[in-house]
C-alpha cells in the first residue's frame, strides 16, 4: 500500500452527457498531487477535490517551461470493469521525459499505484458509451521559487482525469493533414523524444495556420534536412507503400508512441512487412503519384488509429486511398480498440484492471 491521503469532495459534480464529451474539456471530481524536494524526495501524496493550483510567480515552470506529461486512458468494458492499456509504458516514458528536462525520477511501481488510485476514486467517471474513455493526464513540473536557470530542487507531480470522446471532430473518418515546410518541431539532441510542454507550445503556430486552411493537423519534417517525415501533432504516422508498412524510425526527434509500438507488434504478428526507417517527403509524394501509396494513418492515445485521407505539400493536395479508410487501418483500429475496451482477447497481456 502506498502512503496516500484522500480528501473527497463534498460537492460531487453532475456527470456529463456521454454523447457530447469532446476532448479534455470536462474534469472529474478529484485530482492527485505529490511534491518533490531534493532533500525529502517524493512526499505528501494526496488526492484532493479538483481545484486550481497555486504557484509562486517565480516558479521554474512559468519561466523556463520545465514540464513533462503523459496521456493514457481508462476504458470501461461491456461488463462494467475499468481497465488500463500498457500503463507501465507511460510511466517509463514519463521518467525518460523527466530525465531530459532535468526533472526528478519517480519509482515505476509507485507511479503506477498513484495512477490506479486516482482512477479508482473517480471510477464512476469512466464513460461507457461506444468510443468514449477516461483520459488520464499525469504531469510533472519544476517548482523552484527563484529565477536562476539551474538544476531543479523542487517539483510537483499531478494527475487529472477527463472523460473524452474522439479527439478529432472527424471521429474515425479520414483526416486532412498538411506537411509543414517552415516551422520544425524538434531536432536530434533536442527534446523531440520527450513529452514536454515546450514541444507542443512550439507547434501551435503551424497548427493554427493549418486549421485556417482546413487541415486537422500538421505533419512535421525533420528539423535538419527538412526532408524526412517525422510525426503529426498528436500522433505517429504509418504509410503502406507497395505492400511495405513504413513508419519513421525513432531518431531522437520523434515521440516513441505506445500506440505506434503496439501497432508494430500487431502488424508483425499478422505477417505484415513493417519497416522503421527514414521516409522522405519526395518518396511519399512520388508514391501517391504512381499509385503505390495504399494507406496512411496516424496512431496515438487520444487519436487512436486515425486514417489520413489527404496530404497537402507545397500547396498541392494528394488524396490517399480515395479519401477512405483502408483495410489495414480498419483492422488495426478494430484490433486495438477491441483489446482496449475488452471486446477482444488480450493475448499480449497489455491490459491492467483497476
Binding site for ligand COI (CB under 6 A): 71, 200, 234, 300-302
Q: Which is nearer to ligand PLP, 121 or 216 (CB)?
A: 216
Shortest distance in whole angstroms from residue 274 CB to ligand COI: 21
Q: Strand pairing of 236-241 and 244-248?
A: antiparallel
Piece of the chain touching ligand PLP by CB under 6 A; list 102-110, 148-156, 227-235, 340-348: 227-235
Shortest distance in whole angstroms from residue 303 CB to ligand PLP: 7
Based on the shown chain and the rule CB under 6 A, indicate whether residue 257 belongs to the binding site for ligand PLP: yes
Q: Which is nearer to ligand PLP, 71 or 163 (CB)?
A: 71
Shortest distance in whole angstroms from residue 140 CB to ligand COI: 14
Task: Name which of 221, 274, 207, 273 is nearest 251 in CA terms.
Answer: 221
Of the candidate residues 247, 301, 337, 340, the single one contacting ligand PLP (CB under 6 A)? 301
- Give the CA count within 13 Å in the CB-facing half-sphere of 130: 5
Q: Which of ligand COI, ligand PLP, none sits in contact with 296, Cβ below 5 to 8 A by type?
A: none
Look-up of cell digits 512535421: 220
Spatial distance between the Cα atoms of 202 and 179, rounded to a whole number of angstroms: 16
Q: Which of ligand PLP, ligand COI, none sits in contact with 337, Cβ below 5 to 8 A by type?
A: none
DSSP secondary structure of 127-145? --STT-EEEEEEEEEE--S
Cell of 181: 515546410
Do residues 353 and 81 lie in contact, with contact meaning Cβ atoms separated by under 8 Å?
yes
Cell of 60: 521554474
Shortest distance in whole angstroms from residue 95 CB to ligand PLP: 14
Shortest distance in whole angstroms from residue 248 CB to ligand PLP: 11
Based on the shown chain and the rule CB under 6 A, indicate whether residue 166 belongs to the binding site for ligand PLP: no
Of the candidate residues 34, 68, 91, 258, the single one contacting ligand PLP (CB under 6 A)? 258
Q: Which of ligand COI, ligand PLP, none sits in contact with 257, Cβ below 5 to 8 A by type?
A: ligand PLP
Spatial distance between the Cα atoms of 84 and 71, rounded to a whole number of angstroms: 12
Q: Which of ligand COI, ligand PLP, none sits in contact with 342, Cβ below 5 to 8 A by type?
A: none
The helix (H) or strand (E) run that includes residue 219 is strand 217-221
Angle at alpha carbon of residue 53, lines to 52 and 56, rounded to 5°? 140
Based on the shown chain and the rule CB under 6 A, indicate whether residue 87 belongs to the binding site for ligand PLP: no
Of 49-78, which residues contact ligand PLP (CB under 6 A)?
A: 71
The three-state (H, E, C) secondary structure of 22-50, written as one string: CCCCCCCCEEEEEEEECCCEEEEEEEEEC
Q: Which is nearer to ligand PLP, 154 or 340 (CB)?
A: 340
Amino acid at each position: 500500500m502506498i502512503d496516500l491521503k484522500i480528501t473527497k469532495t463534498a460537492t460531487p459534480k453532475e456527470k456529463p452527457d456521454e454523447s457530447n464529451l469532446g476532448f479534455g474539456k470536462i474534469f472529474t471530481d478529484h485530482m492527485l498531487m505529490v511534491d518533490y524536494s531534493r532533500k525529502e524526495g517524493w512526499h505528501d501524496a494526496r488526492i484532493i477535490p479538483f481545484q486550481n493550483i497555486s504557484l509562486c510567480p517565480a516558479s521554474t515552470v512559468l519561466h523556463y517551461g520545465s514540464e513533462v506529461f503523459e496521456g493514457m486512458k481508462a476504458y470501461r468494458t461491456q461488463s462494467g470493469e475499468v481497465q488500463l492499456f500498457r500503463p507501465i509504458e507511460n510511466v517509463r516514458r514519463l521518467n525518460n521525459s523527466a530525465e531530459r528536462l532535468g526533472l526528478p525520477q519517480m519509482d515505476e511501481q509507485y507511479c503506477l499505484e498513484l495512477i490506479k488510485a486516482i482512477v479508482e476514486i473517480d471510477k464512476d467517471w469512466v464513460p461507457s458509451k461506444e468510443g468514449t474513455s477516461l483520459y488520464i493526464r499525469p504531469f510533472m513540473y519544476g517548482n523552484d521559487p527563484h529565477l536562476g536557470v539551474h538544476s531543479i530542487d523542487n517539483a510537483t507531480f499531478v494527475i487529472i482525469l477527463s472523460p473524452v470522446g474522439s479527439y478529432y471532430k472527424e471521429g474515425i473518418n479520414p483526416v486532412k493533414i498538411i506537411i509543414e515546410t517552415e516551422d520544425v518541431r524538434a531536432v536530434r539532441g533536442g527534446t523531440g523524444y520527450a513529452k514536454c510542454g515546450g514541444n507542443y507550445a512550439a507547434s501551435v503556430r503551424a497548427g493554427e495556420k493549418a486549421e485556417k486552411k482546413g487541415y486537422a493537423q500538421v505533419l512535421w519534417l525533420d528539423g535538419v534536412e527538412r526532408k524526412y517525415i517525422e510525426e503529426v501533432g498528436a500522433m505517429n504516422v504509418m504509410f503502406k507503400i507497395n505492400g511495405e508498412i513504413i513508419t519513421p524510425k525513432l531518431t531522437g526527434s520523434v515521440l516513441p508512441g505506445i500506440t505506434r509500438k503496439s501497432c508494430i507488434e500487431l502488424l508483425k504478428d499478422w505477417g505484415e512487412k513493417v519497416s522503421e526507417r527514414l521516409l522522405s517527403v519526395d518518396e511519399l509524394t512520388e508514391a501517391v503519384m504512381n499509385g503505390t501509396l495504399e494507406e496512411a494513418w496516424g496512431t496515438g492515445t487520444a487519436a487512436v488509429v486515425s486514417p489520413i485521407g489527404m496530404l497537402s505539400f507545397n500547396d498541392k493536395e494528394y488524396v490517399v486511398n480515395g479519401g477512405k479508410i483502408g483495410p489495414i487501418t480498419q483492422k488495426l483500429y478494430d484490433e486495438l480498440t477491441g483489446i482496449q475496451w475488452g471486446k477482444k482477447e488480450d493475448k499480449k497481456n497489455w491490459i491492467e484492471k483497476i
